[in-house]
Structure 1
Amino acid sequence: MAFLGFQLFSWQVDIARLGYQNRHSKLSLRKLEAIPASRAMGFNKAVANRFFDLMEKVVERYGLTVEKISHVDKTGITVNPKTQSRVSSLKRRRQVEVLTSADRRQTYICYWASRAYMLPMLVFPRKRLQQELQLGKSPGA
């Protein structure tokens, strides 16, 4: 890293970063999370206010209570780890393979405005349910 014509070594950058973090203890380095641009542009104060106005009209029209308002959310869970473990292999081998699954499991979570919730519902894309797929699941899911 060059700064004003001077070459900085990595240990100098680390010392500068640690000094900055000590001076500004409320700040932290975080990994950026990727979100689609359409989602970022679509979620603003005007859209959120419009949603809550419509929600208020529906609640008043049908006389809904918190026990009758629910939300179901779906998330995809991949079976493959993001990082692979390191293994020992011969020096001249060009590739070390690992088999991965292309499947993604889907989990549905349902909860109500009264703070009650159902146990997660797991959806497997197979005709016959194998007991191995249920290892490590939440009790009752």
Structure 2
Amino acid sequence: MQKRLFGFTMKELRRLAYQLAVRNGCDHPFNEQTEIAGEDWVQSFMKRHPELSLRKPEATSGARAIGLRSSSRALLFNLTTGERIYNCDETGITVIPKQYSRITANRGQRQVGVLTSAERGNTVTFEMCCSAAGNFMSSMLIFPRQKKKQEFKLGLPPGGWAEAN
């Protein structure tokens, strides 16, 4: 059931254990009034099955669950080729670091400083695209400025480019 995104809660597992015991005509010490197995049964069951564990589930939308099915992926890849399917991702890179590497200092020195900007800093956006076939497009940096400078292109990989926002 977990693979279908429908896991059992402990109460549902206890109720299912009771129903299976009654349906199969097994002798059981379960509560007949509440029609549920005891908590001690659950603990013993979990000990007998170490491959199971209690986990907190993550919410997954129905649309995403359908998209995860291999039949849907196979249909999509049969209609298109991997060279035509691209994924693009972006991340922000701060220009003022929050942490600094260790530096050498005189022994016994309690406080060691490093020169930094008083500004909060801007975030540079890094964009990258890749096809399902493994082909990469040139990467792009987007700087939060009005005018583009030639210095923005220094150190970029071949084919990469920089823009101003």
TM-score, length-normalised on structure 1? 0.50
Matched residue, 1:120: 139
d(CA) in 1 for partners of 2:72, 2:143: 33
Deviations 1:104-132 (A, max 9, x none): 01111001011111111111122211122
Gap change, CA 1:118 and 1:129, over 3 Å in 2: same
d(CA) in 2 for partners of 1:102, 1:70: 32
1:63 aligns with 2:79: yes
Gap change, CA 1:66 and 1:127, over 3 Å in 2: same
- How many correspondences in the alignment? 96
Shift of 1:137: 1.8
Gap change, CA 1:98 and 1:87, over 3 Å in 2: farther
Matched residue, 1:82: 98
User: SS at 1:56's partner residue?
Assistant: helix
- 1:27-106 matches, within 5 Å, as 41-42=58-59, 49-53=65-69, 55-56=72-73, 59=76, 63-84=79-100, 98-99=116-117, 100-106=119-125
Gaps of 5+ in 2: 1-56, 106-112, 161-165
Shift of 1:135: 2.2
Gap change, CA 1:129 and 1:49, over 3 Å in 2: same
d(CA) in 1 for partners of 2:143, 2:75: 35
User: SS at 1:41's partner residue?
Assistant: coil
User: SS at 1:132's partner residue?
Assistant: helix
d(CA) in 2 for partners of 1:101, 1:112: 36
Matched residue, 2:157: 138
d(CA) in 2 for partners of 1:116, 1:73: 14
Shift of 1:59: 1.1
Root mean square deviation, CA, Å: 3.8
d(CA) in 2 for partners of 1:79, 1:69: 32
User: What is the identity, as a one-letter code, of the residue corresponding to 2:137?
Assistant: M
Gap change, CA 1:58 and 1:127, over 3 Å in 2: farther
